[in-house]
Structure 1
Amino acid sequence: MSAVMLSDSLQSVVQVQSREDFRYEIIRFAHSLGFDYVSAMTVVDQSAGRSEFISVDNMPERMIETVAQLEPSCRRDPVMQHCKRGALPIIWNQGTYVKHGAPELWEEQAAFGYHNGIALAMHFPEGRHFLMGVDRSSNLPTNSQELTRIVADLQLFAVHAQDAAMRLFVPPSHQLDRPNLTPREVEALQWTMEGKTAWEVGAILGISERTAVLHLQNAMRKLESVNKHQAVLKALRLGLIQ
Structure 2
Amino acid sequence: MEIASDYGFSTLFGGVVPSARVSPEEIKSRILFQRFPLEWAGRYNDRGYVFRDPIVHRLQHDRNPFDWQEAYTSCDFPKDVALIQGEASEFGLRVGYVVPVTMLDGRVAAVSFGGCHADIGAEGRAALSFVANYAVGNLLHYKESRKRLIGKVTPREFDCLLWASEGKTDWEISVILGISRSTVTKHIVSAREKLGAVNKPHAIAMVLRSKLIR
Normalised by the length of structure 1, the TM-score is 0.49
Measure the CA separation in 1 of the matches of 2:35 and 2:146. 27
Residue 124 of structure 2 is aligned to residue 150 of structure 1: yes
Q: Is the 8 A contact 1:84 1:121 kept in 2?
A: no
After superposition, what is the alpha-carbon deviation per residue over 1:128-174, rounded to whole angstroms, capped at 9, x for unaligned? Answer: 43211111112x44xxxx5222111111122222221111124677x
Q: Is the 8 A contact 2:63 2:101 kept in 1?
A: yes
Are residues 110 and 84 of structure 1, via their aligned partners in 2, closer, same or farther at CA, if it must alter by over 3 Å?
A: same
Q: Write out the 4+ residue segments of structure 1 that deviate beyond 6 Å after TM superposition.
A: 48-51
Q: Return 5+ residue gaps in structure 1 as ranges.
A: 1-26, 174-242
After superposition, what is the alpha-carbon deviation per residue over 1:78-104, rounded to whole angstroms, capped at 9, x for unaligned? Answer: 2112223232001123x7436521212
Residue 116 of structure 2 is aligned to residue 137 of structure 1: yes
- Residue 150 (structure 2) aligns with: none
- Residue 82 (structure 2) aligns with: 103
Secondary structure of 1:55's match? strand
Q: Which has the larger radius of gyration?
A: 1
Work out the percentage of aligned pairs sharing the same amino acid. 16
Measure the CA separation in 1 of the matches of 2:133 and 2:143. 15
Q: Return 5+ residue gaps in structure 2 as ranges.
A: 148-214
Measure the CA separation in 2 of the matches of 1:34 and 1:97. 20
CA RMSD of aligned residues (A): 3.2
Residue 14 of structure 2 is aligned to residue 40 of structure 1: yes
Normalised by the length of structure 2, the TM-score is 0.54
Shift of residue 115 of structure 1? 0.3
Are residues 55 and 154 of structure 1, via their aligned partners in 2, closer, same or farther at CA, if it must alter by over 3 Å?
A: same
Measure the CA separation in 2 of the matches of 1:36 and 1:172. 29
Are residues 136 and 60 of structure 1, via their aligned partners in 2, closer, same or farther at CA, if it must alter by over 3 Å?
A: same
Measure the CA separation in 1 of the matches of 2:108 and 2:146. 16
